[in-house]
Structure 1
Amino acid sequence: MADEEKKEAEAAQTPENGEAAATETPPAEAAEGDAAAAQAALPPIIVIKKVIDEGHGGAHGGAWKIALADMMTAMMAFFLLMWLLGSTNEDQRKSIADYFRPTSHSQVSLGQTAGSSGLLGGTSIIDPEGFKFTAKQTALLERVTPRSEAGPSTSDGSSQDPKNREGKSEDLSKEEKKKVAAEVDKENFDKLEKEIKENMKENKQLAKLKDQVTFTREADGLRIDIIDKADFSMFPLGSDRLEGRAAALIREVAKSLKDMPNKVAVTGHTDSVSFAPDSGKNNWSLSAERAEATRKILESGGLSDKRFAKIEGVADTMPFNPKDRADPRNRRMSVKVLYQNVN
């Protein structure tokens, strides 16, 4: 018995299940420790970062400067164009366009559009429409100007050939000159009629008077008649004072006439209605006064006083409607554009 108790006491003092169990290391912690020990045993990883110094070539090359210069030039041209369009009128834009047009006949044919044909398109100095009444007259001048048969001439106009220094001139006869001048005038008369009609059409007030204006070709020129009607009269009854629309119409005629070289004759007409015997007036004086009033309006519209060849009043002797001399249409003003007198 004593031996058994002794063994039990020793067994109780042996640390198999007590302190030994309390100091035993958990498996997870043991694994972490093993991994740390293995990591410490490996050699360190060295990362090398290489920085290449390219100097100033990478970000400051010269290619971008060319592209920037092109863009800036294009933008400058664009904004300059916008400024020109906004700060100039139509005539100024035409002048700018004309500056870039060729002026030599060898470069562009007569009437051909040169330079800009868009918004900045204008009239070239060799465009016949730019000078409505001079293109044919230039041709006339070239034909009627004597030409020397002495060959080439020097800068002072003298012939290089001493034998032919006197020279002979090739000249047109008087009849040929008149024929050429008449052709020029006929074309100019057509342009004049077309221009007056178009200008009246564009004006709302004058457009109402289109039936009161007639154009008649005669042996001595183009006659433009401004005719009264029952509902329209240029002058008050018995007066030589032009009414508003009639004066505006005559100024429009003057505007179209002022660039022509032709002389102008103004004739006043009345109907057969006479004045009272004690009034001291008659249709002769009235028609002459109205012709003078018309001349003054033409002059104020831009027609030079040297352009007038004749101002006259014919009363009712040249009626528009011979069958009815009291017809209001017999009261009219005639502005005749005469053919040029070529001597």
Structure 2
Amino acid sequence: MATPLQPIIIVRKKKRGGHAHHGGAWKVAYADFVTAMMAFFMVMWLVATMPQEQLGGIADYFKNPSAVEGQSSSMAPGRAGPGGAGEAPIRMFEHARKPTDATPIRTPGAPQAAAAGAGAAQKAADETDRRNLEALKRALEEAVASSQALAPFKDQLLIDITPEGLRIQIVDAHNRPMFDLGSPTLKDYTRTILHELAAYFERVENRVAISGHTDTTPYAGRTGYSNWELSTERANAARRALVAGGLSEDKLSRVVGLSSSVPFDRTDPDNPVNRRISIVVLSNAAERSAAKVDYGK
């Protein structure tokens, strides 16, 4: 018997090539990175060496660089209207060359630079003013602790720094009121306190604001006369005492009566401490703020 034929099995093996070469793509990416870093350090060098007015001009240019009208919904600043170009050319390397004439280069950033300089000067002046008021506060506290005229009233003299400036409040006590009952007439010791304080207020250039306060007890005197009139007359009496003690008239900013509208003790409107004279040595910032409100400057 013949042996059956076995099937022939053919195995085809696929030839695999070697790993493909990565090519030069990484070199391009690396070159881009190096170029970007060079540009970055160039910009940093320019920023570090360029005058402030030139930097202001560059900033304005990049806020509004286009020379044609854009499609933005918001209008860009500049004389050329929406999307308009800057108002002066940018000369980035002009500071590295000597100008051909004495005429300064006008840049859009000049007003901003001037404003920034003025702002820095104002900030420095305000800081000096704050230090002067703090020094005056320490001097007053030392005087209250050691002065024969002020020490007996240390519990009635409240001294603190507020957003308006240095505030000194002279408050009533149960057994030691500042004024005669229901009257704007100063007690002798109150007049002495104000005379002592006037000498300290003359040490600084700041102006002074005075306000009079009462408690909520209705005035029981003549008809038509209320705590508003009483508080105003008491503030004016304090003003006269300060002037008599040496305070210049031109250093007075305002004298007002506030009745019981600004109580010291809000929990007890009849508390004697609500009857007080408040004197504020105004900070420069408070004076500027008041001028804007009163005169729109």
From 212, 220, 223, the counterpart of 2:164: 220
Q: Which residue of 2 aligns with 1:198?
A: 142
Deviation at 1:296, TM superposition (A): 0.9
Q: Which residue of 2 aligns with 1:180?
A: 124
Alignment of 1:240-319 (within 5 A): 240-276=184-220, 278-319=222-263
Deviation at 1:216, TM superposition (A): 2.5
TM-score by length of 1: 0.49
Aligned counterparts of 1:182 and 1:215: Cα–Cα separation in 2 = 20
Aligned counterparts of 1:255 and 1:167: Cα–Cα separation in 2 = 52
Alignment of 1:134-173 (within 5 A): 164=102, 173=117
Deviation string for 1:154-197 (max 9, x for gaps)? xxxxxxxxx65989998554433332222112211111112122
Report % sequence identity: 33
Aligned counterparts of 2:183 and 2:269: Cα–Cα separation in 1 = 19
Aligned counterparts of 1:229 and 1:274: Cα–Cα separation in 2 = 19
1:268, 1:291 within 8 Å by CA — same for their partners in 2? yes
1:196, 1:252 within 8 Å by CA — same for their partners in 2? no
Structure 1 residue identity aligned to 2:159? F
CA distance 1:165–1:200, shift in 2 (3 Å): farther
Deviation at 1:279, TM superposition (A): 4.0
Aligned counterparts of 2:170 and 2:236: Cα–Cα separation in 1 = 15
CA distance 1:181–1:276, shift in 2 (3 Å): same
Aligned counterparts of 2:146 and 2:129: Cα–Cα separation in 1 = 26
Aligned counterparts of 1:296 and 1:187: Cα–Cα separation in 2 = 28
Aligned counterparts of 2:127 and 2:139: Cα–Cα separation in 1 = 19
Runs of 4+ in 1 over 3 A off after TM superposition: 163-175, 277-280
CA distance 1:237–1:173, shift in 2 (3 Å): farther
Structure 2's unaligned 5+ residue stretches are 1-100, 289-296
Counterpart of 1:250 in 2: which secondary structure?
helix
Structure 1's unaligned 5+ residue stretches are 1-162
Deviation at 1:199, TM superposition (A): 2.2
Deviation string for 1:4-32 (max 9, x for gaps)? xxxxxxxxxxxxxxxxxxxxxxxxxxxxx
CA distance 1:277–1:291, shift in 2 (3 Å): closer
Aligned counterparts of 1:166 and 1:248: Cα–Cα separation in 2 = 61
CA distance 1:173–1:277, shift in 2 (3 Å): same
2:170, 2:277 within 8 Å by CA — same for their partners in 1? yes
2:137, 2:160 within 8 Å by CA — same for their partners in 1? no
Q: Which residue of 1 aligns with 2:38?
A: none
Q: What count of residue pairs does the alignment treat as equivalent?
A: 183
Select the structure of larger CA radius of gyration. Answer: 1
CA distance 1:231–1:318, shift in 2 (3 Å): same
TM-score by length of 2: 0.56
CA distance 1:278–1:252, shift in 2 (3 Å): closer
Q: Which residue of 1 aligns with 2:265?
A: 321
1:199, 1:252 within 8 Å by CA — same for their partners in 2? no
Aligned counterparts of 1:304 and 1:165: Cα–Cα separation in 2 = 48
Deviation at 1:252, TM superposition (A): 1.4
Alignment of 1:9-28 (within 5 A): none
1:226, 1:332 within 8 Å by CA — same for their partners in 2? yes
Counterpart of 1:208 in 2: which secondary structure?
helix
CA RMSD of aligned residues (A): 2.6
